[in-house]
Amino acid sequence: MAGLFVGVDVGTQGAKAVVYDSRSKAVVSRGAYKYDIIKTNVPGRAEQHPSLWIEGGFAAIQSALSEVDRKDVKGIGISGQQHGFVPMDGEGQVIRNAKLWCDVESAEEADQLSDLWEWTLVPGFTASKILWLKNKEPDNFARLRQVLLPHDFFNYHLTGRYVMEAGDASGTGLFDTANRKFDEARMLSIDQSLPEFFPELIGPNEVVGHLRPEIAAELGLTEEVAVAPGSGDNQMSALGAGAVKEGDWVVSLGTSGTLFGATKIPVLDSSGGIAPFCDSTGQFMPLLCTMNCTLAPEEVRKSFGLDHETITRLAKEEAAGCEGVNFLPFLTGERTPNWPHSSGVITGLRPGGMRPGLLYRAALEGATFSLLNGMRMLEKYGVSARELRVVGGGSKNRLWRRIIADAFQLPLRFPAEPESAALGGALQAAAVCAGVPVADYVAQNEPPCEAETLQPDPSKKSAYDDAFDRHQRLSNALFEKSP
């Protein structure tokens, strides 16, 4: 089915929308709306009310639709921040603010479940948030009748239907990834009624439904517009980056850093370091997430009061490996490895070493080594990459591109569309409306990349291997057994 398809990415800092024309295979318009997490003095709390996602998402959609013929829109696909817990009552009302992926109030519950399941559950996952509600707000838990994730809530608002799909559901901690179904035993260990509160699981190529009449009228669209399954932002970003084949991996350089790719086999890492995700095409998508990515170099830049161009130029003049200086970038603690009490550390300083370029490069290298550690973990499970597709704000830094290529010793490609998650939603919608499997559709209509493919420099391998080994050794010595 040819036409226009809307993709929406509903994140923690705002919503973004793109309109994709399946005939020209191009994004023809965009929209965005910023919002923020609710301010609080409660340690570890990060919450938003789901109505904010609808407000922001609809504003972004309206902005994107203002430049196109709305009658030509055939479908819509939603990408959402993963792990968030949307508690609904029996009347379809939100019980309380949603706890987000970055909310760690449920750290105690995560530890309880980890001990019970003999599987490390990080506090970001949804399961710990559900147990937190039961333990800390029993009156609200007593009202619970439906558990949704952020993108599921958006789909519900569009169609009136409660559903989940395997990609986002695999980030709850309550999913049997290998068999692509809910893990009822884990649900029952939290509460005997919990399995009843999870919605129907649909496949990656199904249509959730069509726009409710009042929603179609509000957006100026027809009621025939189909709503695709959607998924978590990482799964949708993989589609938008064209990474649907084994060996094509995505590195996302944002506030957090992520490394993920499609595999035919599940990766089940009991340490919790590699998230056991499914993707949004019917395959698996192991993922590593670090909490400190662009944050570390940005802290250095701000400390010296330099602009990005100047400090990057100074860093480019420094040698790979930073003369033995390592920046352990755990400024906000770390998720992978699970070191919530870790901190940022600079080691190896010698007289004259407090140079802005050296420290900035060390921060770039440190953030890269945290991601490279994930690749090394994945290789132990028989997973390997032949190419990295680099997205996110940090991907614009050409020095960082070079560091990643040389540290990983892999070629890099750079998707042209900056909003890869929103584009993934649009591509998924186009696929399900055309009746074509999502992976096949994306492979046939691969999103464009920059002309340049950056090849690694083999002469830098030794320097980065040594620096990475120091990064691992020092990090483990300082934080492996931290309280």
**Each residue of 92-112: pLDDT tens digit?**
999 999 999 989 899 999 999
Burial class (CB in 10 A: 0-12, 13-18, 19+), 374: buried
**pLDDT value of position 102:** 87
Q: What is the pLDDT of residue 451?
A: 84
d(C-alpha 226, C-alpha 207), whole Å: 7
Helix or strand or coil: residue 177?
A: coil
Please name the amino acid found at residue 288. L
Whether 377 has a pLDDT exceeding 80, the answer reads yes
Query: For the chain, what is the mean pLDDT?
Result: 95
pLDDT of residue 334: 87
Cα gap 29→38, rounded to integer Å: 30
Q: Mean pLDDT, to the nearest integer, of 316-324?
A: 98
3-class secondary structure, 39: coil
322 pLDDT above the threshold of 60: yes
Instruction: Give the architecture (CATH level 2) of 243-414+453-483.
Output: 2-Layer Sandwich (3.30)
**Catalytic residue at 233?**
yes
H/E element holding 86? strand 86-88
Catalytic residue among 176, 233, 279, 406: 233
Whole-number pLDDT of residue 262: 93
404, 455 in Cβ contact below 8 A?
no
Q: Which token pair is 37?
A: 């997490």
Distance CA 22, CA 13 (A): 29
Q: What is the CA radius of gyration of the chain?
A: 22
pLDDT value for 5: 98
* Structural element, H or E, at residue 341: none
Mean pLDDT of 121-127: 92
Tell me which H or E stretch contains 347: strand 344-347
Q: Helix, strand or coil for residue 143?
A: helix
Q: What is the pLDDT of residue 104?
A: 87
Within 13 Å and on the Cβ side, how many CA atoms surround 362?
A: 25
**Residue 362: which pLDDT band, with cuts at 50, 70 and 90?**
very high
DSSP H or E run through 473: helix 461-479
d(CA 370, CA 330): 9
3-state secondary structure of 396: helix
Please answer whether residues 347 and 387 qualify as being in contact, where contact means their C-beta atoms are separated by less than 8 angstroms. Answer: no
Domain 4-233 matches domain 243-414+453-483 at the CATH topology level? yes
Of 258, 248, 202, the closest CA to residue 82 belongs to 258
307 Cβ partners below 8 Å, 6+ apart? Answer: 301
Q: What CATH number does the domain located at 4-233 have?
A: 3.30.420.40
Mean pLDDT, range 217-234, rounded to an integer? 97
Q: Rounded to the nearest 5°, which phi and psi values hold at 478?
A: -85, -35
Q: Band the pLDDT of 256: cuts 50, 70, 90.
A: confident
Q: What is the pLDDT of residues 379-408, one digit of tens each?
A: 999 998 999 999 988 999 999 999 999 999
Report pLDDT for 461. 98
**For residue 430, pLDDT beyond 70:** yes
pLDDT of residue 323: 97
**Tens digits of residue pLDDT in 459-478:** 999 999 999 999 999 999 99
How far is Cα 25 from Cα 441, in angstroms, rounded to an integer?
11
Q: Where are the domains of the chain?
A: 4-233, 243-414+453-483
Give the rounded distance of the alpha carbon of 150 from its chain centre. Answer: 13
207 close to 159: Cβ distance less than 8 angstroms: no
pTM: 0.90
Distance CA 113, CA 131 (A): 9
Paired sense of beta strands 14-21 and 26-34, if any: antiparallel
**In which band, very low, low, confident or very high, does the pLDDT at 482 lie, cut at 50, 70 and 90?**
low
Cα 164 from Cα 203, distance rounded (Å): 9
The stretch 32-61 carries a mean pLDDT of 96
